[in-house]
Amino acid sequence: MSDAPKSHGRKTIRPTLRPQELMTDRPSLAQAWTAQIITLFPDAFPGLLGQSLTGKALKDGLWQLETIDLRPYGEGKHRNVDDTPAGGGAGMVLRADVVGRAVETARRQSRGRMPMIYLSPRGRPFDQAMARSLADCDGVTMLCGRFEGIDQRVLDHYGIEEVSLGDFVLTGGELPAQVLIDACVRLRPGVLGNAASTEEESFSDGLLEHPQYTRPTEWQGHEIPPVLMSGNHGEIAKWRRAQAEELTRARRPDLWAKRGTEE
């Protein structure tokens, strides 16, 4: 007899010590792309993800959000989750035993192919290609650090990939997690009203996106480029391509150089 979770329609039933979601309006959905977040601040979610297109998609069950509060896994009466760095130094470090217990819970609740990521400025740079790869998975588990970070042994033991949103430091991983989720969810089927929107935007072809214009035709002495009003779709496509190439060369020579090596 299998120990695997049983699926009844779109809802998933998992063994758990917590009360089942029999009387809530957000049961676990078996087929929805899942963003699983391990965090000290579960109330930070969904945040802006609950608005606009991502919020509508969340309500419609196109994706789902599961937060795992790190605090209940803490040690002692006060549920301590951190301790001083081994070898000395400023700040505090999230304990391996505490984070490990939360990770084990996440692993038991995950399904299918759900990579586990630690959001860290020393990680692999997050880009559109990674967003597409993660969007094609069943979901993603994100570990949000705080203080001076997480005991390295947790990352090593579970083979957690470190991912960075840029060369800067934040107070925690919750904001980067929301950015990563937004980038992935918008690529899921049915989330955007026009699927073609993701095919012509920045980075879709290794280029920055061309400029965009709309009404009014003239504003503050600035007019929409005549070619865009010509109705000649071939010329419009050529103009947009040329603009994208020019912007990429000027603003992101690293992308332009990389594109040259791939062609």
- The DSSP-derived string for 147-208 is TT-B-HHHHHHHTPEEEESSS---SBSHHHHHHHHHHHHTTSTTTSS-GGGGTSSTTTTSSP
- Dihedral angle of Cα 42, 48, 51, 57, to the nearest 10 degrees: -60
166 marked as binding residue: yes
| 145 annotated as ligand-binding | yes
Q: At what angle do helices 233-251 and 253-262 cross, to 10 degrees?
A: 110
Q: Is 208 annotated as a binding residue?
A: no
Number of H helices, E strands in the chain: 7, 11
169 is in an annotated binding site: yes
- Both tokens of residue 86? 């081994």
Torsion over CA: 234, 239, 244, 248 (sign): positive
The answer to whether the annotation marks 170 as part of a ligand binding site is: yes
- The binding site for S-adenosyl-L-methionine comprises 145, 165-170
- The binding site comprises 145, 165-170
